[in-house]
Chains A and B, each alone.
Chain A
Amino acid sequence: KNQVEQSPQSLIILEGKNCTLQCNYTVSPFSNLRWYKQDTGRGPVSLTIMTFSENTKSNGRYTATLDADTKQSSLHITASQLSDSASYICVVSGGGADGLTFGKGTHLIIQP
């Protein structure tokens, strides 16, 4: 069964600090991996998307990495801001209508 596991479930850090969120998947075949940010009470917003051949992709202070061999991805947030407080969802696509597997998300809280 295809699975996407995210860790930690929740994380609290101080404003200005860096953090890294993890995503491990067992989806096969693999098409691409996307990270979403979901603010409380809002819909998910896409941050990055990576295919098999991409190792890293950045979007401002967000940098995602992908190791397709170990089936792991990480999302690194640099110099965190209060507005980074949100849930971060990892989604892996294996192709097909039922080929999208969503992780449960990491709930990140940035404290002043």
Chain B
Amino acid sequence: NAGVTQTPKFRVLKTGQSMTLLCAQDMNHEYMYWYRQDPGMGLRLIHYSVGEGTTAKGEVPDGYNVSRLKKQNFLLGLESAAPSQTSVYFCASSSTDRWQPQHFGDGTRLSIL
């Protein structure tokens, strides 16, 4: 009963490098989300998807891209990492409410030097 699994759990990048964060859910949920969590701030929505093959921008989408080629996977890409993207990234999914994440992964801690 994995729920939402995020890979990797930790990563350190240099400015300008690229990487992809992977989110996988095994609950057959339609809706998936990417958030970032920074100290002293609430969770902020980066991008979301309402179904396979669809993506949409959230509150803070700049510098990120996403893809949802398979229903169970939601990928978050950083094409050219910047120190301002140092954060903890959470993926979430939902089955019943388009705008309410039900299950969260345990996060990816990303540091950009």
State the A residues within 8 Å of B (CB). Answer: 4, 31-32, 34, 41-46, 49, 89, 93, 95-105
Contact = CB atoms under 8 A, between A and B. Distances in A.
Nearest to A39: B106
A100 B100 contact: yes
Given A43-B106, A46-B102, A96-B99, A4 B42 contact: yes
Interface string B30-43: 00000000001111
Given A45-B104, A89-B43, A97 B58 contact: yes
Interface of B: 4, 40-45, 48, 56, 58-59, 90, 92, 99-100, 102, 104-107
Contacts of A49: 100
B90 A43 contact: yes
A108 B53 CA distance: 40
